[in-house]
Amino acid sequence: DVKVTQSSRYLVKRTGEKVFLECVQDMDHENMFWYRQDPGLGLRLIYFSYDVKMKEKGDIPEGYSVSREKKERFSLILESASTNQTSMYLCASSGLPGRDDGGSNQPQHFGDGTRLSIL
């Protein structure tokens, strides 16, 4: 089974702090993703990475950065936390499409999430 582990289940930080959210996967997946989930807005993509040291902006990257120094680890960084970044943060990973699956059979697997509160 795929295991995606997020470092904290709950986290409380103060406005202006630099916050690190860590995510580790054990399936040698190439792709890793960070989402945030808010009531009524669903899951929104913050950043993703296709490979080590590669990153691409998602739909809401403002106020966030990421780091992928090792294949198994993808970190989300809140440079200067603000109250509007209070949310549930979800990390996910997926493998590359295979040759015999039409290129489509690589679903994303999610970690348990980090509920982050910024006071």
In this chain, which of 75, 87, 93, 94 binds another protein, going by CB under 8 A? 94
50 touching another protein, by CB under 8 A:
yes
The count of other CB atoms within 10 Å of the CB of residue 113 is 18
| Closer residue to another protein in complex, CB, 17/38 | 38
Tell me the three state secondary structure of residue 84.
Answer: helix
* C-alpha distance from residue 98 to each of 93, 95, 108 (Å): 15, 8, 14
Q: Which of 48, 55, 66, 87 binds another protein (CB under 8 A)?
A: 48
Determine, following the binding rule CB under 8 A, whether residue 104 of this chain makes contact with another protein.
yes
Enumerate residues 6+ apart whose C-beta is below 8 A from 47.
33, 34, 55, 56, 57, 58, 61, 64, 65, 66, 76
CB of 51 to another protein, least distance (A): 12
- Does 51 interact with another protein (rule: CB under 8 A)? no
Give me the residues that bind another protein (CB under 8 A), please. 31, 33, 35, 40-45, 48, 50, 56, 58, 90, 94, 97, 102-105, 107-113
